[in-house]
Amino acid sequence: MKIRLTYSVLFLMLLMPSLGVADEEILVNTSIKPPFSTKEETGFFDLLLKELSTRMDVSFKLVRQPPERALFSVNSGVSDMELPRVAGLEKKYPNLVMIPEKVIDYQFVAFSRRAYSLKSWDDLSDKHVGYIIGWKIFENNVPKTAKVAKLHKPDQLFDMISMNRIEIALYEKYAGWANIKNHEHDHSQIKECKPPLAVKPMYIYVHNSHKELATAIARHLQKMKADGTYQRIFEQTLKSD
């Protein structure tokens, strides 16, 4: 009887790690603003994470950090996950693992009081532009000849345009329009410059200590897209913009 009990205890101890994922809280970094993530957690990524949490039986907790700090935090293992980011960051941050299924396409656009037609990044070469610190796509593509204001908050971007302190604010399309519509000051004179400077698929990254989650999250994202759940969340949170 004692021998049987010992083997039963050993079996349960070996089984516990595989059952313990549901009890583990995954810290998810994001610097994203409405309509992608809100304080009430009703944004696009908020609802997407809630759906993933239900399907995977994993608890995700949002940690709001500035973009640059968020990357260092997950790369060092202080946090577990980061979203959304462009592909290829694992080249600079070796502890990151990219989940091989995009979460959305981001439209990186210019906002201005003038309706500039910008066909490429080079068209910014003689402009005074602003963008948020930590947005790598802008850091890597804005010409060195442009005059650049690096800011901490999106509100500052649009205030700077209204005050004629910069010509162009670089930001994501949906988030930009949400800021313009909901800002305490009147920014109705600000326009979106078309076409987008870039359209990029965006991904989730996990710290390599959680790399087993990458395949599972990718699989569930694919299922959500196939069964219509993804489109429902998109239309509920973004389509009206």
Least confident of 9-13, 166-170, 216-220: 9-13
Domain boundaries, the chain: 2-104+202-237, 106-199
> What is the per-residue pLDDT across 13-61, written as a single tens digit (0 to 9) for each?
344 343 344 457 999 998 888 999 998 999 999 999 999 999 999 999 9
User: Tokens standing for 84?
Assistant: 């959304």
Alpha carbon distance, N-terminus to C-terminus of the chain: 67
The superfamily in CATH containing domain 2-104+202-237 is Periplasmic binding protein-like II (3.40.190.10)
Three-class SS of residue 71? Answer: helix
Confidence tier at 185 by pLDDT (50, 70, 90)? confident
Q: Which residues contact 60 (CB under 8 A, 6 or more apart)?
A: 25, 26, 28, 49, 50, 52, 53, 81
**With contact defined as beta carbons under 8 Å apart, do 225 and 35 qualify?**
no
> What is the per-residue pLDDT across 197-218, written as a single tens digit (0 to 9) for each?
999 999 999 999 999 999 999 9
pLDDT of residue 57: 94
Task: Domain 106-199: give its CATH code.
Answer: 3.40.190.10
> What is the per-residue pLDDT across 102-132, written as a single tens digit (0 to 9) for each?
999 999 999 999 989 899 999 999 999 999 9
Domains 2-104+202-237 and 106-199 share a fold: yes
User: CA–CA distance from 19 to each of 24, 79, 94 (Å)?
Assistant: 10, 21, 28
Q: Is the pLDDT of residue 169 over 90?
A: yes
Separation between Cα atoms, residue 189 and residue 185, nearest integer Å: 11
